[in-house]
Each structure stands twice: as C-alpha cells, then as structure tokens.
Amino acid sequence: MKLGKKVKAFLVAMCIVVAAVLLFLGIYTWRVPQYEEMEETLFSYQSKGSIDYKVFLRPNVVYEEPYLPKDRNYILKYIDYIEAKFVYEYKGSAAADLTTEYLVTAKLQGLHGKGIEVLWSKEYVLIPPVVERERNAVKTLELAVPVKLDDYLAEREKIFADSEVNSPVVLEVVFAVHTAASSTDGSLDDSIESYLVIPIGESVFKIESSPETVGEDAITKTVKFALAVNTAKLSILFIFSALFFGFAIAVAVLVKTADPPDEFAKTIAQIFKEHGERLAGMEHSLAYQASEFDIIDVNSIDDMVKIADELSQPILYYKVDTPLERKIEFYVFDGSRVYYMVIFGEILPTESHIQAELDS
C-alpha cells in the first residue's frame, strides 16, 4: 500500500498527537490527585415546641366531664380556668454548654377595624424569666400554666367602662424559649415561641393555638476528600495511547510513499477540473479513420473550448494509459472537418504505472 507524501505525513502526525494527548491524560489521571468537596457537620441541633390546653369546667348541667379537650367550642359561663401546657424538646448532635431561658407572658389586647389592629394592650407575666444552664446534648421543658379568665374579664369591663369603647378583646398567652449552645466548634442559638389566642367576653368561643414549631441549625466546614484513581479510565487511556503510537509507527515504516503525479497526470487533472462538464468520453480512437476527415490540429484545450462553443459541438476525448502508451486525444467535429488535439505522457515503469492508475 502506498500513500501520498502529504497524506502519510498528516496521518502519522495525527496519530502521534492523539497518542500524546491520551498519554498526557493518563499520566495526569494517575499522578495528579482528584478531590471532591463535601460539607462536614461539626455540630447541629433540632428543636420543636408545641402547645396544648385543657378547658376545666365548673359544675354545670351540660357537661359531665371535668374538662374539655382542645379545638372545641366553649361556653364562657361554664369555664373555671384553662390549663395551657407547653413542651419544648432540644436535641444536639453532641454534648454542649446549654443556656436555656424561658418565660410565659399574657397580653390582653383590644382590637379595632377590619385589619384587626391593636387598639390597646396590657401585658402580664405568668412565669418570669428563668435561666437554666447545663452541659448536655438534650434539653426538655414541660410547662403548665393555669389561666383564670375571670381576672381578664374584670379588666376588660374596667377598660370598657372607662373608655366606653366596646371593642373585641383577646388574651394571647405566649411561651418563649431561647437556647444558646456553646460547643468546641462554635455557638448556635435557637428561639421558639408558641401561643394561645383566647377571646375574652364572648359567651361562646373557640381558642386558636399555634402549630408545632421546629428549629434546626448546624456548624459546618468544607472538607476535601481525595478520590481513588479510576483504574478503568486509566487503563483505557494508556491502551489507546499505545495503539495510536503503534499505528503511527506502522504507517511510517510499512506504508510506502507514493510517487507524486507526473506532468501528464497533472495536466489531465487540471483539464477535467476546469472543463469536465464539456467533455464526453469515447471508447475508441479515430486514428484509423483519419483519412476520412480533414484533420486540423489545435495547440491548447482553451482553443478547443472556443471552437466547440463556436460550433455548438461537444468536445470528445479518448484516453489511453498503459505501460506501452500514454496519451489523451480531444476531438471537435464539424462535418468532415475534425479539430484535433493530443497530449502525450511519459512512459512509466510498470510499478509506477499501476500506482498512477490507483491514484487516478
């Protein structure tokens, strides 16, 4: 097999470049560590706070049970007191210095307008601030507070008598907890509030309570982990690099360089490139019929094209390329007159001739 000099050089160069790139990628994969970034949690916590209540009753002719559970309609006249119960749970990922502060307040508020604006407000402390410190991973609080509605009803009537404004009044009972956790990796704060909203002065009412409140946070740091070498990828890169190097060597050593086209082949190629659509091939030469025609020799293919245009005739050609003869003849017919042009080629050695045939 033979290839043109430029084609062979290009093929060898491309194989070497591809092999070198694959080899570089293989060495890079093997020698250069690859890392993956991950968030590592040093300290974290989760917390939740929930509120529940029971409505304890005075003796009455309607209810036999001593109290009613949450989410019911309640008759004000039968209510003795409301027991509000708050549960707080804190759980850290590790032991830390915990400082927990909590308090319970009640706000008596007069409301006004469609937007339920606060017209007036009075605050009461049901449980004053309490601070508890300990080193632990968990913290649990259970607080129960009785709420006597009679005291707030009396306050409502007093304000109404003085202001003569009969506005809706609610009592908001708020449980507030704040926990500060100090660990060797840093500090985190957690704050949770739960509440009850109790209408004051309505003969029948429902109590609104906040849903369960949750909190969470974490102290993290970014850590780089070295990845294991991908042996499958490494093997593929090295194998294909070796294959391309081997192919480049095989092409350079085993594939022979074809002789460049001679002047005859170049001339024919140029003619067909420029005028191929004007040429029509013949199976036999007209040399044996030359006596029947008036032969006019033409020196160039451009002149043949001009004559063919003038006569509106095609240009016919006959080509022979054998070890014994190499030529191409062109004809333009005009009745008994024939315009004729011939190009001869140098006789090539047999091997070169075969290669020329393959190249053409």
Question: pLDDT digits over 90-104, tens only?
Answer: 999 999 999 999 999
Residues 218 and 292 occupy one common structural domain = no
Per-residue pLDDT at 321 = 83
Residues 299 and 162 occupy one common structural domain = no
H-helix segments, the chain:
5-31, 149-163, 231-254, 263-275, 301-311, 350-359
Per-residue pLDDT at 69 = 94
Per-residue pLDDT at 352 = 53
Tell which residue, 123, 128, 93, has the closest CA to residue 109. Answer: 123
Residues 216 and 316 occupy one common structural domain = no
Helix, strand, or coil here: 101?
A: strand
Report the distance separating Cα 274 and Cα 269, nearest Å: 9
Residues 115 and 216 occupy one common structural domain = yes
pLDDT at 354 over 70: no
The residue from 205, 222, 239 where one domain ends is 222
Residues 250 and 355 occupy one common structural domain = no
pLDDT at 53 over 90: yes
Residues 238 and 137 occupy one common structural domain = no
Residues 213 and 86 occupy one common structural domain = yes
Section 24-41 average pLDDT = 86
Section 13-35 average pLDDT = 88
Residues 50 and 195 occupy one common structural domain = yes
Residues 139 and 21 occupy one common structural domain = no
Give 248's pLDDT tier (boundaries 50, 70, 90): confident
The residue from 256, 272, 304 where one domain ends is 256
Tens-place pLDDT, residues 106-160: 999 999 877 678 999 999 999 999 999 999 999 999 999 999 999 899 999 998 8
Query: Into how many domains does the chain fold?
Result: 3
Q: What angle do CA 303, 306, 307 make, to 5 degrees?
A: 90
Tens-place pLDDT, residues 283-342: 887 765 666 778 888 988 888 899 998 898 999 999 988 888 888 899 999 888 889 899
- Is 84:53 a contact under the CB 8 Å cutoff? yes
Residues 252 and 307 occupy one common structural domain = no
The residue from 222, 242, 270 where one domain ends is 222
Range of the structural domain that residue 12 is part of: 2-32+228-256
Residues 210 and 233 occupy one common structural domain = no
Which residue has tokens 């002789």?
Answer: 259
pLDDT at 358 over 60: no
Residues 23 and 72 occupy one common structural domain = no
Helix, strand, or coil here: 292?
A: helix
Q: What is the pTM of this model?
A: 0.58
Q: Is residue 226 left, alpha or beta, with left meaning phi > 0 and alpha meaning psi from -120 to 50?
A: beta
**For residue 291, how far is the Cα from the chain centroid?**
83
- Is 94:42 a contact under the CB 8 Å cutoff? no
